[in-house]
């Protein structure tokens, strides 16, 4: 195809992606790549697409046809009103995790606190909390050095002063205590691979997705370490799988019998978040 108009290019993308059983995300790819609004694109509909842009657009669409997530193709994803760099070293931030951030911000006092985002990935939780409450001292940890490099870049880009620490759960945080710990840890059981989206399995980091013990191995380590790493009257907020409430209730009762446990549903009506108070 010679250089098409923008309208023709979008029509080509729609047909091509449909042939590959993918959603029609051509408009999203183009808008995000060019940082345009829908109106800005509509104004160009009948204009020829510049050759360099057409080549880039074809490459983006072909990558998506191979199950690569659009956020990795573009290189960023929105979260809690900010844009975060994402790479295959980090999970793509999801709306459910925005709800976790919102719950924590609504529950916690607007006073200086020491907060840890455990398993930070792209830094989305830690940076969003810090930008919303600048007086908080926010730490962010992850087992992955590559993820921490992305999170550090995001913090610098968004102007968030975060203390980063490479750590396997609490292993490198032995001397630290926090008022609040927030986490979206790996919680998917390996047995659930067969029902997961192919693009997630192919491109997102398995270490940030899966955990042994039916998805609860990392949660067991976190809950075991909370008494040592939470200050008196501290709180924990965590995200979990929509079928895991019974198992987490039992685990919290076994490991933290003196804690108060609360659960919250996501916007889809699934119980996906818990709060522990001490």
What are 162-215's pLDDT values in tens digits? 999 999 999 999 999 999 999 999 999 999 998 888 889 889 999 999 999 999
Whether residues 221 and 108 share a domain: the answer is: yes
Angle separating helix axes 124-132 and 145-158, nearest 10 degrees: 30
Nearest to 76 by CA among 183, 132, 157, 131: 157
Alpha helices in the chain (DSSP H): 6-19, 26-34, 38-42, 51-65, 70-74, 95-107, 124-132, 145-158, 198-203, 217-229, 245-255
Of the candidates 116, 137, 246, 120, the residue with the CA atom closest to the CA atom of residue 181: 116
Identify the domain containing residue 124 by its residue range: 88-277
Question: What pLDDT shows up at residue 245?
Answer: 96
Q: Let me know if residue 37 belongs to a domain.
A: yes
The CATH number that applies at residue 195 is 3.40.50.150
Q: Which residues are annotated as a binding site for substrate?
A: 184-187
Q: Find the Cα–Cα–Cα–Cα dihedral 224, 225, 229, 233, rounded to 10°.
A: -10
Average pLDDT, the chain: 96
Query: Could you tell me which residues are annotated as the binding site?
Result: 119-123, 142, 184-187
Look at residue 1 in the predicted model and tell me its pLDDT.
61
Residues 53 and 94 in one domain: no
- How large is the average pLDDT for residues 209-232? 97
Q: Are residues 100 and 193 in the same domain?
A: yes
Instruction: Assess whether 217 and 117 both reside in one domain.
Output: yes
Residues belonging to the binding site for S-adenosyl-L-methionine are 119-123, 142, 184
Q: Are 120 and 147 in contact (CB under 8 A)?
A: yes
Number of structural domains found in the chain = 2
> At 7, is the pLDDT very low, low, confident or very high (cuts 50, 70, 90)?
very high
Shared domain for 148 and 44, answered yes or no, is no
Q: Average pLDDT of 1-10?
A: 91
The stretch 96-116 carries a mean pLDDT of 97
> Strand 178-183 vs strand 114-118: parallel, antiparallel, or unpaired?
parallel
Residue 83 lies in a domain: no
Query: Does 10 reside within a domain?
Result: yes
Question: What pLDDT is attached to residue 195?
Answer: 85
């Amino acid at each position: 195809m010679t250089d098409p108009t923008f309208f023709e290019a979008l029509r080509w993308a729609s047909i091509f992606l449909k042939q590959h059983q993918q959603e029609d995300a051509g408009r999203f790819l183009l808008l995000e790549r060019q940082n345009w609004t829908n109106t800005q694109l509509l104004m160009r509909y009948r204009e020829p697409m510049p050759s360099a842009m057409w080549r880039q657009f074809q490459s983006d669409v072909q990558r998506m046809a191979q199950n690569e997530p659009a956020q990795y193709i573009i290189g960023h994803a929105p979260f809690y009103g900010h844009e975060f760099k994402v790479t295959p070293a980090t999970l793509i931030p999801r709306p459910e995790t925005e709800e976790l951030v919102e719950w924590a911000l609504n529950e916690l006092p607007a006073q200086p606190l020491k907060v840890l985002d455990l398993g930070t990935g792209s830094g989305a939780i830690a940076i969003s909390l810090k930008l919303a409450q600048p007086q908080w001292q926010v730490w962010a940890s992850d087992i992955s050095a590559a993820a921490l490099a992305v999170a550090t870049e995001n913090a610098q880009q968004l102007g968030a002063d975060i203390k980063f620490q490479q750590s396997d759960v609490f292993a490198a945080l032995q001397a630290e205590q926090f008022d609040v710990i927030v986490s979206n840890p790996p919680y998917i059981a390996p047995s659930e691979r067969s029902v997961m989206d192919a693009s997630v399995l192919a491109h997102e980091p398995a270490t940030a997705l899966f955990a042994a013990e039916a998805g609860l191995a990392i949660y067991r380590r976190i809950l075991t370490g909370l008494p040592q790493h939470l200050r008196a009257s501290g709180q924990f907020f965590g995200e979990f799988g929509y079928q895991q409430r019974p198992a987490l209730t039992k685990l919290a009762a076994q490991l933290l019998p003196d804690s108060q446990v609360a659960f919250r549903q996501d916007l889809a009506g699934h119980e996906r978040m818990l709060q522990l108070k001490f």
